[in-house]
Chains A and B, each alone.
Chain A
Amino acid sequence: MKKSWFNAWLLLAILFLAACSEEDSDEGDSAEGEGTSDAVVEIDYWQYAFDSKVNLMDELIAEFEEANPDIKVNQTNFPYEQYNEKVAAQVPAGNGPNVINLFYGWVPLYVDSGYLQPLPQDEFPHEEIEEEFFPMVEATKLDDEYWTIPTAVRTLALFYNKDLFEEAGLDPEQPPTNWDELVDYSKQLTKRDANDRLEQAGMAWEPSQQGHHWFRDALIYQAGGEGLSEDRQTIKWDDSPAGFEAFQYWLDFPLTHKVAERNFYTDDVTAFMTGHAAMNIDGSFRLGTLQNDAPDLNYGIAPLPSKNEEATQSSFWTNGITATTEGAELEASVKFLKFLTSDEVMERWLEEIGELPAKQKVAQQDKYLQDERYGAFIEQLPNAQAHFFIDETRERDLVIRAVDRVLLEGVDPKEAYDELVEDTQALFDEYWGNR
Chain B
Amino acid sequence: MNQPSQLSDKAIKNAIPEKKKRPKLTMKQSKYLFVYICLLLPIIFYLGIRIIPTLYTFNIGFREWNILSPEKPFVGLENYATLFNDEVFRKSLVNTAIFIVIGVIGQVVIGLFIALLLQRINRFVGFFRVIYFIPYVTSIVAVSWVFRWLFMNNGFMNEMLVTIGIPPQLFLNSPNQAIFVIIGTMIWQALGFQMVIFLAGLENIPSTFYEAADVDGASPFQKLKMITIPLLNPTIVFSVVIGSINFIQVSFTQVVNMSVDSAGGPLHSTLTIVVYIYQLAFRQYSMGLASAATVVLFLFILALTIFQMKVLTKKFDY
Contact = CB atoms under 8 A, between A and B. Distances in A.
Chains A and B bind each other: yes
Interface of A: 1-2, 4-5, 8, 12, 81, 84-85, 87-88, 92, 109-110, 112-115, 195, 197-199, 208, 261-266, 276, 391, 393-394, 397, 400-401, 404-405, 408-409
7 contacts: A2-B24, A5-B30, A114-B70, A197-B158, A276-B154, A400-B265, A404-B175
B70 A113 contact: yes
B284 interface: yes
B284 A8 contact: no
Interface string B25-38: 11100100110010
A85 B281 CA distance: 10
Given A208-B261, A263-B153, A393-B279, A195 B168 contact: yes
A114 B284 CA distance: 18
A50 B119 CA distance: 52
B97 to A, nearest CB: 22
Contact of A408 (B26, B152, B174, B262): B174
A397 B173 CA distance: 16
Contacts of B260: 208, 262-263
B207 interface: no
Which of B30, B170, B175, B266 has the most C-beta atoms of chain A within 10 angstroms of its own C-beta?
Answer: B266
A87 B260 CA distance: 31
B160 interface: no
A405 B261 CA distance: 14
B68 interface: yes
B10 interface: no
B56 to A, nearest CB: 13
Given A113-B66, A404-B266, A263 B172 contact: yes
Given A4-B30, A92-B70, A199 B267 contact: no
Contact of B168 (A4, A113, A114, A197): A197
B27 A1 contact: yes
B7 to A, nearest CB: 12
A88 B68 contact: yes
B34 A409 contact: no
Interface residues of B, number: 39
B284 A394 contact: yes
B282 A85 contact: yes
B123 interface: no
A2 B68 contact: no
B261 A4 contact: no
A109 B162 contact: no
Contacts of A263: 152-153, 172-173, 260
A1 B154 contact: no
A197 B25 contact: no
Given A110-B68, A262-B173, A393 B283 contact: yes
Contacts of A4: 30, 34
B81 interface: no
Given A2-B25, A88-B67, A109-B285, A265 B148 contact: no
Given A1-B26, A266-B148, A409-B267, A197 B68 contact: no
Interface in B134-165: 148-149, 152-154, 158, 162
B68 A113 contact: yes
Which of A5, A81, A404, A405 has the most C-beta atoms of chain B within 10 angstroms of its own C-beta?
Answer: A5
B310 interface: no
Given A84-B67, A263-B152, A263-B173, A397 B285 contact: no
The A interface, classified by DSSP as helix, strand, loop or mixed, is helix
Contacts of B30: 1-2, 4-5
B293 interface: no
Nearest to A5: B30
A404 B271 CA distance: 15
Given A197-B168, A198-B154, A263-B260, A2 B70 contact: no
Contact of A112 (B69, B173, B175): B69
Contacts of A92: 70
B153 A264 contact: yes
B263 interface: yes
Contact of A85 (B67, B70, B174, B279): B67
A5 to B, nearest CB: 5
A126 B24 CA distance: 76
Which of B26, B68, B173, B175 has the most C-beta atoms of chain A within 10 angstroms of its own C-beta?
Answer: B68
A405 B265 CA distance: 12
Given A84-B67, A85-B282, A266-B148, 18 more contacts: A1-B25, A1-B30, A2-B22, A2-B24, A2-B30, A85-B67, A92-B70, A109-B66, A109-B68, A113-B66, A113-B69, A195-B168, A198-B153, A198-B154, A263-B153, A393-B279, A400-B261, A400-B265
Given A2-B25, A408-B174, A266 B68 contact: no
Contact of B154 (A8, A109, A197, A400): A197
Contacts of B33: 5, 8
Contacts of A5: 25, 30, 33-34
Contact of A404 (B34, B162, B267): B267
A265 B263 contact: no
A88 B154 CA distance: 44
Interface in B28-57: 30, 33-34, 37
Contacts of A113: 66, 68-70
Contact of A391 (B37, B158, B267, B284): B284
Interface in B212-270: 260-263, 265-267
Contacts of B149: 266
Contacts of B173: 262-263, 408
B1 to A, nearest CB: 11
A265 B267 contact: no
B143 to A, nearest CB: 15
A4 B266 CA distance: 63
A107 B317 CA distance: 67
A5 B66 CA distance: 47
**The 3 nearest A-B residue pairs measured at CB:** A113-B68, A393-B283, A208-B261
Contacts of A266: 148-149, 152
